[in-house]
Amino acid sequence: MAARPRLTIDIVTLFPSMFTGPFTESLLARAQKEGLLKIRLHSLREWSDDPRHGKVDDRLFGGGAGMLIKAEPVVRAIQALAGKRKRTKPWVVYLSPQGRVLTQSLAKTLVRKKHLIFICGHYEGIDERAMKWIDEEVSIGDYVLTGGELPAMVVTDAMARFVPGVVGDPDSVLNDSFSAGLLDTPHYTRPSVWRGRKVPAVLLSGNHQAIRKWREEKAWEVTRNKKPALVKSRKRN
């Protein structure tokens, strides 16, 4: 009997084929193959209230540019994927520029939900009346994209790193930028001298205590230089 996946994500979108490349390569492909992560893609048109044409959008009441995704297909999709017999209700996320901005901390929190339904908006978004069925809005930044597909890919990738077994060395996740409230330390590999530039001597010393101290100091230095707001926030806490 196959092991139950540690994280299941149902993605509802108008363009399922957009996900083929990102989800069939690298760590995400391996995680799915090994049963650690289950990603299911669904076309919103499956739940259209106009099955003949698969129409899911209409004009805005009150006028205005663009089209709007109707409430009925969105809610039908959520209800169908949530199911009536499941022990726990899936967490429904709407990918929207108005949502909470994705952070390392938020990605870690979302993973704990175990089963998520991602709704990818398009056009001018979705009918406001469908928002009653949405648990959380998530954004990947303060800018507008053509749809929620790219954000869904980014959020999935960020979350997957926290699923045990997806990343070969768990310590690499713990030491990622932002995980400890600081940016990651600089890293080096062979050769030790490249175009006249040397690897810091401490990293070649074999002195693990000195290396750890150097990395901690460098993490603070990099964060102060690149993202000083993180340092201020860490001091307040």
Q: Which of 109, 112, 232 is nearest to 181 (CA)?
A: 232
Encode 208-227: b = buried (16+ Cβ within 10 Å), e = exposed.
Answer: eeebeebbeebbbebbeeee
The answer to whether 161 is a known catalytic residue is yes
Strand locations in 114-203, DSSP E? 115-120, 136-139, 193-194, 197-198
Question: Is 169 part of the annotated catalytic residue set?
Answer: no
Residues 6+ apart with CB under 8 A from 150: 18, 140
Of 76, 97, 136, 184, which one is the catalytic site residue? 97
Annotated active-site residue in 73, 90, 149, 161: 161
Catalytic pick from 157, 176, 184, 221? Answer: 176
What is the amino acid identity at position 222?
V
Q: Which two tokens stand for residue 191?
A: 């050769």
Q: Measuring CA to CA, how many Å separate 52 from each of 48, 55, 72, 115? A: 9, 8, 16, 31
Token pair recorded at residue 45: 């048109």
Out of 46, 72, 124, 135, which one is annotated catalytic? 124
Question: For residue 12, what are its two tokens?
Answer: 């509802």
Distances in whole angstroms, Cα of residue 51 to Cα of each of 33, 44, 47, 55, 129: 33, 11, 8, 7, 21
29 membership: H or E segment, kind and range: helix 26-33
Residue 124 annotated among the catalytic residues of the structure: yes
Residues marked active site are found at 97, 124, 161, 176
